[in-house]
Amino acid sequence: MLATLTIQNYALIQELNIDLSKGLSTITGETGAGKSILLGALSLLVGQRADTGVLLDHSRKCIVEGTFRVKDYGLEELFAQYDLDFEEVSVVRREISPDGKSRAFVNDSPVNLSILRDLGEKLIDIHSQHQNLYLENPVFQLRVLDTFAQQADLLQKYKTIFSSYKTMMTEYQRIHDEVGKNKADLEYFQFQYDQLNQAKLQEDEQELLEQELKVLSHSEEIKTALVAASAIMSGEGNSIITLLKDAHHQLSKLRDFYQPSLELFNRLDSALIEMKDIAHETELQSDHIEHNPDRIEFVKQRLDLIYSFQQKHRVSAVQELIIIKDGLKQKIDEISNSDFRLDELKAEIDKIRSAMENMATTISANRQKVIPRIEDRVQELLKELGMHNAIFKVELTSTHEFTITGTDRIRFLFSANKQSPLQELAKVASGGEMARLMLSIKAAISEAIILPTIIFDEIDAGVSGDIADKMGNVIVRMSDHAQVINITHLPQIASKGQNHFLVYKHDLDNKTQTRIKQLKSDERVIEIARMLSGAELSEAAVNNAKALLGIN
């Protein structure tokens, strides 16, 4: 239950503190006094988004803090799931800073809005006026059945598997589409790969061939130059080597008596050895150079092949062609193995689908099992609320298609009068009937399970008189099972609260602020009388108010 609520710097609220207790608490106030502001602040504690527009003073942050007694809610596992410290008295705080940043805390541990919403659903059930329209929503209708069936854990497991199923189906379709497209391209990929593979390209081949072609194209010039150079160095007559030998011999005569000649002799000796080696190498190279038209033609054809591949694939190096070839091989292998991958994925999908079918079947069976109990109890409550001829039915059929909620299609059918056939709510229920039906469903749920704090925002809209009194009795009974905070404009219902809070506006220093106070016994009489007669309190209104409050 919500034990305390503190609000600072929110809308028209500068600072507000409320202590709440078990049972039924009533909140009243004139239209526009700020009751909706309270709900807005509370909605922040259950993960509602907010911006700086909620700040009363834009130089300070807004703080909304609720203290909850959670001992009997069975929330230990949820706290552990989010790595939060479980305290029997837990504090949920929300802060909105002037720069628009929002922070949330549970027992002083920071949490994101997703966690706050998940926890908030277990702590507070806020029912605003427009939520009567949820009765027409199939998702809400299924949630009613699931709440009665108490299968939240099973549904969560199903939703997890359903999410995996959808992801895998998307992946299967993607691969299937790619396989279809790629198979059409397989012949083309194979042709391209075979061309490159049969060419047996080497990384440095292009550079070597281009250099070889230069040599082959100038073979006659090269050979002529090499032969001439060889003759100059080692040919008959006055060749370089012959002259060097003569000089070498002359210097050798001086070694014994002319010391400087020794260095010259040694240097000349080295030059003679180097010259002989150069002459020998030149002669060998000249022997290897031949004019070879066949080799020239082969090298030209090989280079033309490489150039054509480079132009075709829009690259400039053999290395890039090799990368393309390897990529084509990978594509071909993937396409060739895609059928196997599809079969493998299909087997996984079938396995998940089978588990999902079993869960969906169990979920549907649990829903079918509680339908009679829901129908009977809601109709009993509707009779108590003055709808003696009302008939409420739940129609559950299978769609044979998996959705996030299972395989069921649901309709709430309703007839308010004997002569009226059962139809969907939107076609037959008035606003007042919707309010009574929603209250009946909420009351039935509160009897079946432990509910969190329930906040009704004028669920009694559209009713009055005796029906309002009967709705008040139902709400009082709900407060036996859960803490109920009821915002109302009807004195018959307001008088039934164990505690009564008044929301009002207060003008101070040219500013209007929303405030709230808990009414004492005599103040409650005045407030109920005001609700009965307006600003001018009559003695009859005061006496009527006392009667409603059970005061003699």
Q: What is the spatial order of strands in the sheet that 62-69 belongs to? A: 13-19, 2-10, 62-69, 89-96, 102-106, 109-111
Encoded tokens for 34? 């700020």
In 3D space, the residue among 352, 366, 396, 414 whose CA is nearest the CA of residue 135 turns out to be 414
Superfamily of domain 2-150+385-519: P-loop containing nucleotide triphosphate hydrolases (3.40.50.300)
Place of tokens 């109890």: 377
Distance CA 526, CA 491 (A): 11
Per-residue pLDDT, 38: 87
Strand partners, 55: 10
The crossing angle, in degrees rounded to 10, of helices 293-313 and 318-384 is 20
Per-residue pLDDT, 39: 86
The SS3 of residue 96 is strand
pLDDT < 70 stretches in the chain: 129-133
Distance CA 50, CA 44 (A): 7
Distance CA 496, CA 502 (A): 14
Per-residue pLDDT, 131: 66
Q: H-type helices in 418-499, by residue range?
A: 425-428, 431-448, 465-478, 491-494
Distance CA 286, CA 227 (A): 6
Per-residue pLDDT, 63: 94
Contact (Cβ atoms closer than 8 angstroms) between residue 492 and residue 544: no
Long-range CB contacts for residues 407-414, cutoff 8 Å, separation at least 24? 407/360, 407/364, 408/142, 408/363, 408/364, 408/367, 409/138, 410/138, 410/141, 410/142, 410/145, 411/138, 411/141, 412/135, 412/136, 412/141, 414/390
Per-residue pLDDT, 354: 94
Helix (H) or strand (E) holding 541: helix 539-549
Encoded tokens for 441? 């469903």
Where do the structural domains in the chain lie, given as residue ranges? 2-150+385-519, 180-336
Place of tokens 């016994």: 521
Q: What is the pLDDT of residues 491-507, one digit of tens each?
A: 999 999 999 999 998 88
